[in-house]
């Protein structure tokens, strides 16, 4: 009796077809991680050549840390609500995340103004400029996220009826966009924690 043959092939993780948007997101995350890691290394190398300056980080930076952590929770809840077809909760939590995102940007800008007024980055010690560089690059990531979040929230408000929301939710590309954006937002939150802890330890 001849052995049975199966047509099922073993999936090769290196050759299997990947979702392009997800792959682009991971490339972006990897690129940002390399960029920030390079800045960390450059700063540490320069720190040995300059006199260390103690800098009191603005209170607004501490507050913005709580804001971005809370925004990850609200976006997670929005994602769950969207998946479970609880569209009113989805709009509420998505709007809350958008508000928290704007709040983070305002707090970061206020923190910069507080540092400028206190004489940080007066030109005496160039390492102080790394505070602006790191927080500024992260803020660009947040601004991009808030802009796309505004687009998602506008779509959510446009589809207020249950039927429109349901049709929108069962569309695979829409589900994918929200899932990938949630990952991106969590990444920006984790990135800020790394940057903030780095600044606390070194300054």
- pLDDT for the residue 124: 52
Q: Which two tokens mark 175?
A: 């589900």
With a cut of 50, say whether residue 57 has pLDDT above it: yes
Q: Is the predicted pLDDT of residue 43 greater than 70, yes or no?
A: yes
Residue in 27, 26, 148, 156 with CA at minimum distance from that of residue 82: 156
Q: For 107-127, what is each residue's pLDDT tens digit?
A: 999 998 888 887 666 555 566
Whether the per-residue pLDDT at 167 is higher than 50: the answer is yes
Place of tokens 């392009």: 20
> Does 7 map to a domain?
no
Query: How high is the pLDDT of residue 8?
Result: 44
In a domain, 2, yes or no: no
Structural domain harbouring 116: 21-49+61-202
Residue 8 belongs to some domain of the structure: no
**Range 140-146 average pLDDT:** 95
Q: How many domains does the chain have?
A: 1
Q: What is the pLDDT of residues 1-15, one digit of tens each?
A: 444 444 444 545 444
**49 contacts: CB under 8 Å, gap ≥ 6:** none
**Residue 113: half-sphere exposure toward Cβ, Cα within 13 Å:** 7
Residue 157 lies in a domain: yes
The domain that holds 107 is classified in CATH as 1.20.120.80
What is the distance, to the nearest Å, from the Cα of residue 156 to the centroid of all Cα atoms in its chain? 20
DSSP string, 4-29: P-----PPPTTTS---HHHHHHHHHH
**Measured between alpha carbons, how far is 43 from 52 in angstroms, rounded to an integer?**
12
């Amino acid at each position: 009796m001849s052995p049975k043959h199966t047509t099922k092939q073993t999936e090769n993780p290196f050759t299997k077809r990947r979702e392009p948007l997800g792959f682009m997101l991971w490339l972006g995350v990897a690129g940002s991680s390399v960029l920030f890691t390079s800045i960390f290394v450059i700063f540490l190398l320069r720190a040995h050549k300059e006199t260390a300056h103690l800098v009191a980080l603005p209170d607004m930076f501490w507050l913005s840390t709580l804001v971005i952590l809370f925004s990850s929770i609200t976006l997670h809840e929005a994602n769950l609500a969207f998946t479970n077809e609880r569209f009113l909760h989805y709009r509420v939590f998505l709007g809350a995340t958008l508000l928290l995102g704007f709040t983070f940007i305002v707090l970061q800008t206020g923190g910069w103004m507080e540092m400028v007024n206190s004489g940080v980055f007066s030109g005496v010690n160039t390492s102080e400029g790394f505070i602006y560089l790191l927080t500024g690059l992260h803020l660009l990531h947040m601004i991009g996220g808030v802009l796309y979040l505004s687009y998602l929230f506008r779509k959510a408000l446009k589809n207020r009826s249950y039927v429109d929301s349901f049709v929108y939710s069962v569309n695979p590309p829409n589900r994918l966009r929200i899932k990938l954006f949630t990952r991106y937002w969590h990444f920006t939150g984790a990135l800020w924690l790394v940057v903030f802890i780095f600044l606390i330890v070194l300054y």
